[in-house]
Structure 1
Amino acid sequence: MDFVKTVLVTGGAGFIGSHFVCSLVNRHPDWRIINFDNLDYCSNLRNLESVEENENYTFIRVRELPSPAVTSLYMECQCHETGMSSLPSCLHWQLNCLLK
């Protein structure tokens, strides 16, 4: 399938990130959503069970984030969920990125 947009989410297995990922996957089947997470103490893959079989979703476990040079090769938007503790501020940033 050809995807219209590729979105890279870092920290997408955490509480806020997983809900954001599920929302993107379900609302935009024509977008490819790539979720990078290191699965630390606050990550939970059970939050992503509803989307793990979707064609437009990919999960990649990483020890550290890929370099910007690598990620810029295949994606148009990058959303960092790692370390986001404020839901309003991270949603504002995400919407600005996705609407470009």
Structure 2
Amino acid sequence: VGEEGVLELPTVPQVATRLNAQHSTAILTDWKARFESAYDIEFRDFVDHVSRDLSPEGPSAWDGYIAAVTADAALVSLDKDGEKQDLDFPETPSFYTEK
């Protein structure tokens, strides 16, 4: 949800069923099926880097913090009829930027 429109992830490719003159697909009931392979790739990359004594390259706790604050601001905006919410983040702590 943005100021000028909405972004939506595409539907995960699924098997379609044609039966009794109807065409149907299952509806995902949680996030696991959509993001399972992405989490697997991210986890493998993390283990690969850490096992070689390298800093992980994926998202950090700081990235999670920024995402959470942004999501909270989006919810406030929805509660206030789409009123723009300013985001003011502190400087990224150095231990997140040092490799």
With normalisation by structure 2, the TM-score equals 0.24
Identify the structure with bigger relative contact order (alpha carbons < 8 Å, sequence gap 6+).
Answer: 1
Hey, which of these two has a bigger chunk of strand by percent?
Answer: 1
Query: TM-score normalized by structure 1?
Result: 0.24
Higher radius of gyration, 1 or 2: 2
